[in-house]
Structure 1
Amino acid sequence: MITLADIMENQRMAMMSINQRMTNFEVHLKESQPGADLSGLHKDFSAFKVHVWSVLSALQLQIAELSRSTDVIEMRHRKKFLLLGGVPETPGKQTPEVTATILQSKLGLTDMSPSSLIVCHRLGVASEGRARPILFRCADNTVRGVIWKTKTKLKGSSYVVSEFLTRQRQSAFSTARRLFGVTNVWTMDGNINVKLPDGKRRRVFSLEEVAALGEEHGRQLDQDTPSVSTTKSNNASAQASTPASTRSRRIVKKK
């Protein structure tokens, strides 16, 4: 099944192809024999060029709007979940029991038990040397709020609680932290908040917005920072390095 990423890639390739063909057409016009009447052809070409770019620009705006709408819907679902990172994978130990024990002992949630978690499993494919994050959802949504508010108690330990961001927002979040510093960028209910050098705060949702904000404040994307135009490869690398970038549409239970 074709995805939004595939549509965006096809649209990008179409724009490159049309641009190349228009460039070749202009070259042929310049190489035409002197004296030849090409006014009609030139006029037709100019009209075609304007039309093509207007259509492609409209298509690009529609795709961007669709992407934003899809991201909002997906994040609305993900807000119910949290991620617990830094938990070693020990054979024979059940993920719900391990998660409940950590939340109980580290955050003081005395009533927490495996039955308090309606979803709890590792994300991604197991690999040597890297513990997969644990995705969990509490049966009581108020407990989710308590966990988020008390997660600072995990400082100094190997554990970390984070929100289950969409791929788009995870990419924007990671890049914003590289541009403005870890302590100046945080998330709340899926929203990415940035404290700027002038003390003001801004809320961003996409990599494009982060890049624009960085340029506005003289913070340029370096070579190691994901490029705005290469979201497909960024998503693959983010999935391997950051827990919150793992797909959410198919949550397969793994222990």
Structure 2
Amino acid sequence: MSTVADIAETQRMALLSISQRMANFEEDLKKSSPGADLSGLQKDFSIFKEHVWSIFSALQLQITELTRSVDIIEMRHRKKFLLLGGVPETPGEKVPEAVATIVQTKLGLTDLRPSSLTVCHRLGAASEGHVRPILFRCADSTLRGLIWKSKTKLKGSPYVVSEFLTRQRQTTFSTARKLFGVTNVWTMDGNINLKLPDGKRRRVFTLEEVVELGAEHGRLLDREDPPASTIRPNSALAQASTRSRRVTKRK
């Protein structure tokens, strides 16, 4: 079964191919001998060109809506989880006990016990020089809320509590922080919020929104290629090409 990313890539290749063929067609028209009656051919080409663009515009809109729907569904599941970063990895470690200790001692939430966690493990594959965050889920959603509200108590410590965002939202979140600063961008229930230089607050959903807001306020990424697709007439393809994976099982 094809994924959204596979469909987006197929569309991208088709668009590039058709664009090249149309460019060749136009070039051939320019090279035609003077005096030749090409009015009919030019009209046919114009109709074909508009038809192709309308098809791809419709496809891009569908992919954008599908991608957003999948992202919303996945984030709804991920909202039940939290990530705890900065906990050193040790051989034979007992991860639930480590989480409980930090929550009890650093956040003052003594009600949390290792048995209070229905899911608790390192996220991703182990690699030298990289400390993996811990993904955990509390059996009591109220306790999860208390941990999230108390996370500011970890300031100054090596630990950090964050939400388990989808890949698309994590990319958007990271880019927003690069453009507007760490203290001006935060998440709440999986939603990305930012404070603009003019003091206004905005909730953003896509990478394109962040980049456009950055441009409006003179904040540009320090890179040559834009993070969003520049294919026209619709750049929604960039959103569709972002893969979101649900990673809730130990690897």
Same fold (TM over 0.5): yes
Deviation at 1:50, TM superposition (A): 0.6
Deviation at 1:37, TM superposition (A): 2.1
Residue matched to 1:5:
5
CA deviation digits over 1:208-249, x for unaligned, max 9?
Answer: 1101111121211221897123969x979xxxxxxxx8x42x
Deviation at 1:15, TM superposition (A): 1.2
User: Which one-letter code corresponds to 2:161 in the other structure?
Assistant: V
Residue matched to 2:139:
139
Residue matched to 2:114:
114
Which structure has more relative contact order (CA 8 Å, sep 6+)? It is 2
Query: Structure 2 vs 1, CA of residues 217 and 71 (structure 1 numbering), >3 Å: closer, same or farther?
Result: same
In 2: Cα distance, 1:37 partner to 1:229 partner: 39
Residue matched to 2:162:
162
CA deviation digits over 1:153-183, x for unaligned, max 9?
Answer: 1111111000001111100110001101111
CA deviation digits over 1:102-132, x for unaligned, max 9?
Answer: 1111111112111100000111000011111
Query: Structure 2 vs 1, CA of residues 34 and 225 (structure 1 numbering), >3 Å: closer, same or farther?
Result: closer
1:251 is aligned, of 242, 248, 251, to 248
Deviation at 1:193, TM superposition (A): 0.7
With 194-203 and 7-16 compared, the bigger mean Cα shift is at: 7-16
Residue matched to 2:80:
80
Task: Please tell me whether the aligned partners of residues 5 and 242 of structure 2 are also in contact (alpha carbons under 8 angstroms).
Answer: no
Query: Structure 2 vs 1, CA of residues 96 and 168 (structure 1 numbering), >3 Å: closer, same or farther?
Result: same
Q: Secondary structure at the match of 2:150?
A: helix
Q: Secondary structure at the match of 1:111?
A: coil
Superposed counterparts of 1:52-201, under 5 Å: 52-201=52-201
Residue matched to 1:44:
44
Residue matched to 1:239:
none
Query: Structure 2 vs 1, CA of residues 224 and 192 (structure 1 numbering), >3 Å: closer, same or farther?
Result: farther
1:217 aligns to 2:214 (yes or no)? no
In 2: Cα distance, 1:67 partner to 1:76 partner: 14
In 1: Cα distance, 2:242 partner to 2:89 partner: 24
In 2: Cα distance, 1:213 partner to 1:88 partner: 37
Q: Secondary structure at the match of 1:21?
A: helix
Unmatched runs of 5 consecutive residues or more in structure 1: 237-244
In 1: Cα distance, 2:18 partner to 2:186 partner: 41
In 2: Cα distance, 1:79 partner to 1:157 partner: 24
Deviation at 1:34, TM superposition (A): 2.2
Deviation at 1:68, TM superposition (A): 1.0
Query: Structure 2 vs 1, CA of residues 226 and 45 (structure 1 numbering), >3 Å: closer, same or farther?
Result: closer
Unmatched runs of 5 consecutive residues or more in structure 2: 231-237
TM-score (norm 2): 0.91
User: Which one-letter code corresponds to 1:95 in the other structure?
Assistant: V
CA deviation digits over 1:120-153, x for unaligned, max 9?
Answer: 0111000011111100000000001100011111
Query: Structure 2 vs 1, CA of residues 92 and 176 (structure 1 numbering), >3 Å: closer, same or farther?
Result: same
In 2: Cα distance, 1:107 partner to 1:76 partner: 26
Question: How big is the alpha-carbon RMSD for the aligned residues of Structure 1 and Structure 2?
Answer: 2.0
Residue matched to 1:207:
207
Residue matched to 1:14:
14
Residue matched to 2:233:
none
Task: Please tell me whether the aligned partners of residues 120 and 253 of structure 1 are also in contact (alpha carbons under 8 angstroms).
Answer: no
Q: Percent identity at matched positions?
A: 74
Q: Secondary structure at the match of 1:74?
A: helix
Residue matched to 1:240:
none
In 2: Cα distance, 1:211 partner to 1:106 partner: 36
Superposed counterparts of 1:220-235, under 5 Å: 220-223=220-223, 227-229=227-229
